[in-house]
Structure 1
């Protein structure tokens, strides 16, 4: 493996999810992470995916991002929106949201490691709300 390929593999060790809910969450997190909480591209993606029901998941993803920014003691690395691979932090976040309702203890552990904190109850609550909103609207956040 060449040196640039090896460094890319270290920065982006995970493939982006194929499932529509998980991919939509990842893209929304990336857009909001770059463009801020009121990013129009993230809103447009939600409108395209959820139609008239877009407001609830959009507001909840924004709340999740705000809570991550508030609670985290470290920087959370995100890749550009066009990237077909995920950073370690993105993979931890998507997996935590995917399992937030079915296995909250494991999701809490992932979120604590992601944020570098001992307790992440606020972040977990936001992740559970996002997961439930996506599932209610027919795009559950699932990971293989």
Structure 2
């Protein structure tokens, strides 16, 4: 197994909407919540309805940053694979409504804390915003 496969063991999500979530998370995680490219990809994907998914994605990222006991590893946007943390984040957004217990466990493992309600609410809001705009996130 190559070093890249060890550091980035997960393939990109097959779901195009999950890839939008991943791109926005990577951009905001690396460059801050006001990253212009993250905003542009949301505008491109959602058109005039971009504000709600963008603002809720920012809220999710802020909650993740303030709640995590440690660092959350993210890869650069150009990487064609995902870190374990990125795979968990995409799975949380994809499963928060359909499998809330699984999402809770993934979130607690990712953040290293027990109280994950704020992050789960933000992830649920992101998932709902994407679905309401016709772009449900599948994991």
The two structures have a TM-score, normalised by structure 2, of 0.98
Question: Whole-Å Cα distance in 1 between the matches of residues 115 and 89 of structure 2?
Answer: 15
Indicate the residue corresponding to 2:80 in structure 1: 84
Q: Which runs of 4+ in 1 moved over 6 A?
A: none
Structure 2: runs of 5+ lacking an equivalent: none
1:56 aligns with 2:52: yes
User: C-alpha separation between the residues in 1 aligned to 2:116 and 2:6?
Assistant: 27
Matched residue count: 139
Q: With structure 1 as the length reference, what TM-score do the two structures score?
A: 0.94
2:90 corresponds to: 94
| Structure 2 residue 108 is the aligned partner of structure 1 residue 112 | yes
Q: 1:26 aligned to 2:22?
A: yes
Question: How much is the aligned-residue C-alpha RMSD, in angstroms?
Answer: 0.7
Distance in 2 between residues matched to 1:119 and 1:99, nearest whole Å: 18
Structure 1 alignment gaps of length 5 or more: none
Paired with 1:106 and 1:92, the residues of 2 have a C-alpha distance of 11
